[in-house]
Amino acid sequence: MFDQRLVGHQAIREKLLSRLQAGKLAGSVIFAGPEGIGKRRIALELAQRELCFKGTACGACQGCKAFWTDPLPKELPNLLRIAPEGKAGIIKVGVVRDSDLVEGGVIAWASMAPPPRCHRWILIEDAHRLHGAAANMLLKTLEEPPPGTHVVLITHRPEAMLQTIRSRCERIAFAPLLPEEAWAVASGHGWLEAEREAWTALSAGSLRNLEREAFERAAAQVDAWLRLSSGVSYREAAGPLIPDRNADLAVSEQLRQPLELLLALLNDAARVRSGGKPSLAPWKAGIEQLAGSPVDLKLPQDLVYQALRHLPRNPAPEPVLRGIGMVLR
């Protein structure tokens, strides 16, 4: 009854299916958990099963294959996907109210009768990127979805969503993948056993680093922080940390990864100071050097948390990085 290509979260998948079949799945739900762990795919599986020729999300029939094309369509007979767009990376009000995505807008689409033996599924990806006006316009639909319609908001930052949105939705929490689950996917994508320790440590139960370029960028950012903490100048070390203004991803979202990686390094340094072992074992030497320095780990940690809270305001990245780098030295 499940797509065999999906790995992990089996208990949640079984519970979702059971509640759906019993008519007890809430009309509006939030799938919350770390980035890159498969939340979107679990949501897609609910809609995929209804178009599967076998009714099982077999993954092989023509009905299922529509859910695995690249890029994935914005609209299928029983599914509408909403995702951030543009350099700002936000979901604009035109998608909800007007015909920017589908004729009549999302609310009109949700009110249409679903296909036979199907529900209507609306997936809002990176739901924390909903523009304030767009979020407010969805409130009525989230509170009382039309019969047969389910709205799934997917996010790794539920705290950044409006309280009025969160209060109208049931929250379903997703944990990181188990190391062996994440590695099963990675090995299927060509990663070698000799690379397993570094890939597993850096990925931390997610699939964000499945592509080699993404892994190498994250590894370079870890190295950059450790070089800064060892006394290397900002000019020499900070290159991998600075967002690319020509990239499709918003500068604020690019800045998130190096900040989160620094938090992992600081947590590891605190763990070493307490006699424990670092989770980022391949970088053990640098972490032990940081742990042995006189740096008050709470100072850079507080600065990182402050920077993360202000990311939606698109702060200039270099002053943020320089300020944190100074207290690391």
Give the model confidence (pLDDT) of 189-235 as tens digits. 999 999 999 999 999 999 999 999 999 999 999 999 999 999 999 99
Q: Indicate whether 87 pLDDT > 70.
A: no
Report d(CA 77, CA 148) in Å as an integer.
14
Report d(CA 195, CA 93) in Å as an integer.
44
pLDDT digits (tens, 9 = 90+) for 276-290: 999 999 999 999 999
Report d(CA 233, CA 3) in Å as an integer.
50
pLDDT at 314 (0 to 100): 65
CATH of segment(s) 10-173 = 3.40.50.300
Answer whether 125's CB lies under 8 Å from 154's CB: yes
Answer whether 259's CB lies under 8 Å from 304's CB: yes
Domain boundaries, the chain: 10-173, 211-328
pLDDT digits (tens, 9 = 90+) for 102-156: 877 888 888 888 888 899 999 999 999 888 888 888 999 999 999 999 999 999 9
Q: pTM for the whole thing?
A: 0.89
Beta bridge partners of 171: 30
Place of tokens 């391949």: 282
Residue type, 8: G
Which of 127-146 are b and which e, b meaning 16 or more Cβ less than 10 Å from the residue's Cβ?
A: bbbbbeebbebbeebbeebb
Q: Could you tell me the pLDDT band of residue 304, with boundaries at 50, 70 and 90?
A: very high
pLDDT at 195 (0 to 100): 97
Q: Phi and psi dihedrals of 153, rounded to 5?
A: -100, 125
pLDDT at 107 (0 to 100): 85
